[in-house]
Amino acid sequence: MIAARGAGVIARYRAFLPVNDATRVVTLGEGNTPLIYSPRLSEIVGRGARVFVKYEGLNPTCSFKDRGMTVAVSKALEHGARHLICASTGNTSASAAAYAARAKLDCVVVLPAGKIAAGKLLQAVAYGARIVAIDGNFDDALRIVRELGRRGDFAVVNSINPDRIAGQKTAAFEIVDELGDAPAYHLLPVGNAGNITACWAGYGEYVSARKSTRTPRMIGFQAAGAAPIFHRRVVEKPETVASAIRIGNPASWERATRAVEESRGAIDIVTDDEILAAQRWLAANEGIFVEPASAAPIAGLIKCCDSSRNPVCSLAQIEPESAIVCTVTGHGLKDPDAVRIPEIRAVSANPDEVLRSLER
Ligand code: F0G
């Protein structure tokens, strides 16, 4: 039986997760996010394709990280941890801080100084995490966190922790439960590469459990200035406006490569301009506002439909009526600086002035 929606992913998918009777579940009601049909993206693909946007920005801390964090923090508590630690480009730290607060655990977040979107930093502060900024990038932060985890003082809740991956695979379960089977393609942004790994695992487990008959092709998108998997080499100084995926040496690199190979998928790149254009387009055309990293698969879908741009995966000849899912991973409000607010001048407070200002 499916547990009440809103009860969280552990209640809903308990049989697929590493929990037992001794696990005290730490949840904020994550998961059960909307799978929104997009008529305009469907039109762009053509051939009767149905494109859906999985809006993960509607999780409790406004990103997909909460699916993994409920499992990671519940298990850390079960194992007697008192102190959690993570490196982050922002969303993992927001999520870890919230679930740690809920579990009454201490939470330390190690962040690249000056590189975290304002909303995400605000969340870590509000949830009461102890914040350490380093002179370095995310990859440096993760190296430090791994080392401190090895010394035994902290439980690491980055996606190198298998409990995080286990929780994140529930996004694939929800997609199949809603569509009735796996989609033909699943597009998503790739940073540290945990999510593509997790979703692929989820699709595989659902086939084994006979809840679906097939698996999708996994298509991951990296930002052009932070594309180690695409280029097959570490990027020492990753740069992109999509700060969430500004990562040069992903922890789950090999597993993500395996997911792409096994699924007959692909890794491609999108430029910052394409990312920002897709972010604006999705908000203005479908009413879905996402942070820049989350717009990467939307930019990617558009690229894959345009054979003149040499996409690694072409959707021009897609099987008619195929279902395509794009995961949009985080809410647009997390990164207010990514959208330029035009100058808005005040007019006198009367209806005629308001109308006049609209004519200008
Ligand atoms: N989208 C968003 C909004 C993210 O925050 C991240 C990763 C990704 C996509 C990429 O997912 O790492 O599993 O490939 N954010 C991490 C963080 C690195 O620290 O919040 P991935």
pLDDT in tens, 107-127: 999 999 999 999 999 999 999
- Provide the percentage of residues in the chain whose pLDDT is more than 90: 97
Q: Which atom of ligand 1 is nearest to the CA of 188?
A: 9
- What does the pLDDT read at residue 6? 84
How far apart, in whole angstroms, are the C-alpha atoms of residue 160 and residue 164? 8
Both structure tokens of 119: 């909303």
Residue identified by tokens 């096994």 is 262
- Provide the percentage of residues in the chain whose pLDDT is more than 70: 99
**Partners of 130 in the β-ladder:** 108
Q: Please work out whether the CB of residue 191 comes within 6 Å of at least one atom of ligand 1.
A: yes
Judged against a pLDDT cut of 70, whether residue 93 lies above it is answered with yes
The protein residue whose alpha carbon is closest to atom 19 in ligand 1 is 88
Judged against a pLDDT cut of 80, whether residue 5 lies above it is answered with no
Nearest Cα to 242, choosing from 126, 85, 116?
116
The protein residue whose alpha carbon is closest to atom 15 in ligand 1 is 244
Q: What is the pTM of this model?
A: 0.97
Q: Which atom of ligand 1 is nearest to the CA of 89?
A: 19
Q: Which atom of ligand 1 is nearest to the CA of 120?
A: 20
Q: Please work out whether the CB of residue 96 comes within 6 Å of at least one atom of ligand 1.
A: no
Judged against a pLDDT cut of 90, whether residue 87 lies above it is answered with yes
Both structure tokens of 185: 């393609």
Which pLDDT band holds residue 4 (cuts at 50, 70, 90)? Answer: low
Q: Please work out whether the CB of residue 195 comes within 6 Å of at least one atom of ligand 1.
A: yes
Residues 6+ apart with CB under 8 A from 225: 235, 238, 239, 240, 272
Looking from the CA of 84 toward its CB, the CA atoms found within 13 Å total 35
Q: Please work out whether the CB of residue 249 comes within 6 Å of at least one atom of ligand 1.
A: no
Write out pLDDT tens, residues 20-75: 999 999 999 999 999 999 999 999 999 999 999 999 999 999 999 999 999 999 99
